[in-house]
Amino acid sequence: MIVQDGDQRAAKDSQDEAEQALVGSYVGESGATQCRRVVLDGYLDKREVERAECEEGEDRCDVCRGEEAEEDSERPSDSEQSSEVEIGVEESEEENEREEMQRGFEQQQRERQGPRQTLIQQRQHEFGDVEWLRRQLVQWANRCGICEAAGDRHSNHDVRQCWRLESTQVKEQIKAIEGKMKFERYSGCFWCGVPQEICH
pLDDT computed for residue 75 by the predictor: 55
Q: Which long-range contacts (CB under 8 A, 24 or more apart) does 53-62 make?
A: 61/35, 61/36, 61/37, 62/36
* DSSP one-letter code for 183: P
pLDDT computed for residue 181 by the predictor: 80
pLDDT computed for residue 10 by the predictor: 47
Query: Any residues with CB less than 8 A from the CB of 164 and at least 6 apart, and which?
Result: 146, 147, 150
Nearest Cα to Cα of residue 174 among 146, 139, 137: 146
Q: What is the DSSP string of 39-69?
A: HHIIIII--SS---SPPTTSPPPHHHHTHHH
Sign, Cα dihedral of 66, 68, 69, 74: positive
Task: Profile the chain (200 residues) by mean pLDDT over runs of 10 residues.
Answer: 50 62 68 73 69 80 68 55 66 86 87 82 90 85 86 85 90 88 78 73
**Continuous H helices in 141-166:** 145-150
